[in-house]
Structure 1
Amino acid sequence: MKTISAADANRHFSKLMRDVAEGDAVIVTSHGRPVAKIVPLTEEDRERDEQVAAGRRLLERLEAQPVLGPLTWTRDELYDDEPYPESF
């Protein structure tokens, strides 16, 4: 595992990200003390992020739909072949 100072991480951020993307984990230090660990995303992380994004897209679609008031049916209508009233 590599160790880099916060100042060097700031100066060489692009290289640091390339190293992490290639699978290296990096400890970032400040005044000689470890303060952060940068690790590559796992496949599970990516899948979870995709699921969260899909859930957010679904919620946005649902929130954009008009709200329909409560629908009422009679007992006869519930057992008809057409379950929805004509006004629906």
Structure 2
Amino acid sequence: MRTVGALEARKTPGSLLELIEMGEDIVITRHGKPMARLVALVEEIDRKARARAAGKRLLERAKGQSLGGISIKELIEDGRR
């Protein structure tokens, strides 16, 4: 992950876009503090799709599973004791 200052980011937006297209993430800082992160949009969409797929897999694995007749409420109350 590359870090650039806000002034540099304003002066060279074209070169930043080229780096992003090559798959590099860029953090923009102001006075040394991170203010923004630039990532390729395709990568962000891919992350969301992978997260949704993982959630679906978890739900599929949970089907048919039981707590042996114990309710969630009973588990919560037991945990408070």
- TM score, norm. by length of structure 2: 0.52
AA aligned to 1:3 is T
Aligned residues: 47
**Structure of larger gyration radius:** 1
* Larger RCO, structure (CA 8 Å, separation 6 or more): 2
Overall identity of the aligned pairs, in %:
33
SS in structure 2 of the partner of residue 42 of structure 1: helix
SS in structure 2 of the partner of residue 16 of structure 1: helix
In the alignment, structure 1 segments of 5+ residues that lack a partner are: 47-88
**Aligned-pair Cα RMSD in Å:** 2.1
Runs of 4+ in 1 over 3 A off after TM superposition: none
- TM score, norm. by length of structure 1: 0.48
In the alignment, structure 2 segments of 5+ residues that lack a partner are: 47-81
Partner of 1:32: 32
Q: CA 1:32–1:40 in 2, change beyond 3 Å: closer, same or farther? A: same
Partner of 2:17: 17
SS in structure 1 of the partner of residue 27 of structure 2: strand
Distance 1:44 1:37 in 2: 12
Q: CA 1:42–1:29 in 2, change beyond 3 Å: closer, same or farther? A: same
